Structure 1
Amino acid sequence: MKTLHVIDEILIETTNYLQEIWDLTTQNSELTNNLAQCQENLKSTLETLKKREESLREKQAYIENLEKIKADLESQLLQSQNLCSDLRSQLLEKEASLNQIRKENKNLSNEIAVLQNKIEQAENRIQELNSKNLELESLLHETQENLKNARFEIENLQQSLPPEQLNNDETNE
């Protein structure tokens, strides 16, 4: 009986071990399933990470391109600012030159006004002289007419005088 009892205990112990083995097998199966699920999740996560990494590379390349464009634009802005500065300097020079030309034009306008005044005075003087010249020409013409008439009268008088008196008059002259 004792043997039966030992066999019973061995059977109970074996059953317990079998139960433990079964439990461990079940746990192992669950762990295997969990491991497989974890591996699938890891694969999916890895794929997602690869896609993100590729996306990040593209974004990084895009950012680097934008930074290059920004640097180019900053360079162009600096060049434009320098050009604007040069143009401002040229504009100031042109304005100074224009102011000088305006000043010279004003001086020339004043000189022209003075010269026009002198020309007007000279024209008035010429008109006065022309008027006096006409008067003198008229007086000269009148004098010439008077001389002509006087000669004509002298000739008429000489012709009307006797020849002896003519000689006498010539001697008196």
Structure 2
Amino acid sequence: MIKLSNKGGKSFSQSSLRMTAQPDGKVNVENYTFDQETAREELGNMIVLHDYPLSMVDHAGFRRFVHTVQPLFTLHTRNTYRKDIIGRYDKEKKVDVEYMTMLQSRVAVTIDMWTSDNQKKGYLAITGHFVDESWKLRNILMGYMVESCCRFIAVHYSYC
């Protein structure tokens, strides 16, 4: 429901519909409720998944596009999305570390370092590799650091 209020205190609502296509060619029409928090989380997921720069949320073209697709969506600043992404990483890292402590197998730890030519920054990532209970190879990012101007920024983690 889209809820709008006027100066008289009356509120108006309008149902939103979503159409989805099935593989067999049929089209389903169903109710749809826009959720700002879900959309914000999915934007953060898209940024991480495709390695997009956080600055894309400040681009005028991207802002116009988002407003055209969903006028109710409020875009936040790049710092807000950065905090969201780091917060989600911290939560998932805790779950992964707890999972790794309960493993019967061993964990191999690797360190990878690289530099960014255009930003003049150095990166360091610590990754844990192990075989889970179903014999599937898993990788977990355990920590990372960003070096900029001879100073380490970001998060430093220690493990036993």
TM-score of the superposition, structure 1-length normalised? Answer: 0.17
Q: Normalising to structure 2: TM-score of the pair?
A: 0.19
Give the structure with higher Rg (CA): 1
Report which structure shows greater RCO (CA 8 Å, sep ≥6): 2
More helix per residue: 1 or 2? 1
Q: Which has the higher strand share?
A: 2
